[in-house]
Amino acid sequence: MKRPISAGQRPTARPRPGGVAQACLWFALALPLAIFAAERKPKPSAKDAENSAPILMSKTGGGDIWADVKELTAAANKGNRKAQAQLGELLLRGSTEYKVPQDRPKALTLLEQAARAGEASAAFRIGMLLDDGDGVAQDRARALDYFRAAAAGGSGEAYHNIGAAYASGRGVKPDLAEALGWLTLAAKHGASAEAAEALRTQLDAKGGHSVVLHGETRAGEIERELAARKPVEWLPPAAPLVATAAITGNSSSAAGAAEPSKVEPGVKKR
């Protein structure tokens, strides 16, 4: 018997060879940091649960819970952004459980529609695809715009990914104070506090107390900057998302990342 599809659930991802579900992708940082963290499944906050990509179903259906794929598709066709995000998630890789064939072009269209309608989970997913170059042309700078929109919508993992990008110079000029600001906010919004604490400790140990102070100041400034605009206003100008090579498991829900190298913070695969 199939599970009902409801907001907050997510399709099971196919692990990549050499990777495991609920893994983080790790990169080298601009400063030699001893930031080590075990692979984990992020503990979602109530806000993240509300905004996470919906995956179908309940026995009764309706609202943000759908009895089957037919009902989910009907809701998506009517412009329900959570249904669009969920159907996009299912189509991205296909689902044997729900007998949904893979359709990457349609998945990308639905995810983009949902993101433009303000669905944080869809913005996060597109950010992951662009960051990894997973089934679309890689564009890490553009990925950060989608992560900012997702963060403005309350995604703690999006805050983390922006902090990780600033720490490692991934699609942006390295800036450890900015990294600390975003990582501090990630913890505030339900992501792990380990990365922010480790970065703060390492900076203090290396005489970077002024960087820590700047980072803590930036955390408050970032919150005010995000609050001053609607989440969708952080998205980049609309442009077609063109499917390229087959989408792998590495950008799906909190899963399928490569084996970690040594240091962190890394991109969270929510």
Instruction: Name the domain count of the chain.
Output: 1
Asked whether residue 22 is domain-assigned, the answer is no
Other C-beta atoms closer than 10 Å to the C-beta of 269 total 27
Residue 1 covered by a domain: no
Task: Give mean pLDDT, residues 222-247.
Answer: 92
What pLDDT does residue 66 have?
A: 87
Mean pLDDT for the stretch of residues 95-122: 96
**Which domain range does residue 92 map to?**
27-268
Work out the mean pLDDT of the chain and round it to a whole number: 78
- Looking at residue 244, what is its pLDDT? 86
The arithmetic mean of pLDDT across residues 261-267, rounded, is 41
- Confidence band (pLDDT; 50, 70, 90) for 3? low
The CATH number of residue 237's host domain is 1.25.40.10
Tell me if 37 is assigned to some domain: yes
Domain annotation covers residue 3: no
Residue 177 lies in a domain: yes
Has residue 11 been placed in a domain?
no
CA–CA separation, 73 and 84 (whole Å): 8
Q: Could you write out the DSSP letters of every residue in the chain?
A: -PPPEETT--PPPPPPTT--TT-EE----SS--------------HHHHHHSPPEE--SS--TTEESSHHHHHHHHHTT-HHHHHHHHHHHHH-BTTTTB---HHHHHHHHHHHHHTT-HHHHHHHHHHHHHTSSS---HHHHHHHHHHHHHTT-HHHHHHHHHHHHHTSSS---HHHHHHHHHHHHHTTS-SHHHHHHHHHHHHTT-HHHHHHHHHHHHHHHHHHHTS-GGGGSPPP------SPP-GGGSTT--PPPP-S----EE--
Q: How much of the chain, in percent, has pLDDT values that exceed 70? A: 67
pLDDT at 17: 33
pLDDT tens across 16-60, in order? 333 322 223 233 333 333 332 223 334 444 444 344 433 444 444
Average pLDDT in the 191-216 region? 95
pLDDT of residue 258: 27
Q: Which pLDDT score is estimated for 249? A: 56
Q: Which of 86-95, 146-155, 237-246 has the lowest average pLDDT?
A: 237-246
Q: What is the pLDDT of residue 65?
A: 81
Residue 244, domain member (yes or no):
yes
pTM of the model: 0.75
Name the residue with higher pLDDT: 261 or 45. 45
pLDDT the model gives residue 32: 31
pLDDT of residue 64: 73
Work out the pLDDT band at 266, boundaries 50, 70, 90.
Answer: low
**pLDDT tens figures, 70-99:** 999 999 999 999 999 999 999 999 999 999
Query: What is the structure's pLDDT at 61?
Result: 52
Token pair of 62 as six digits: 């309706």
Any domain includes 163: yes
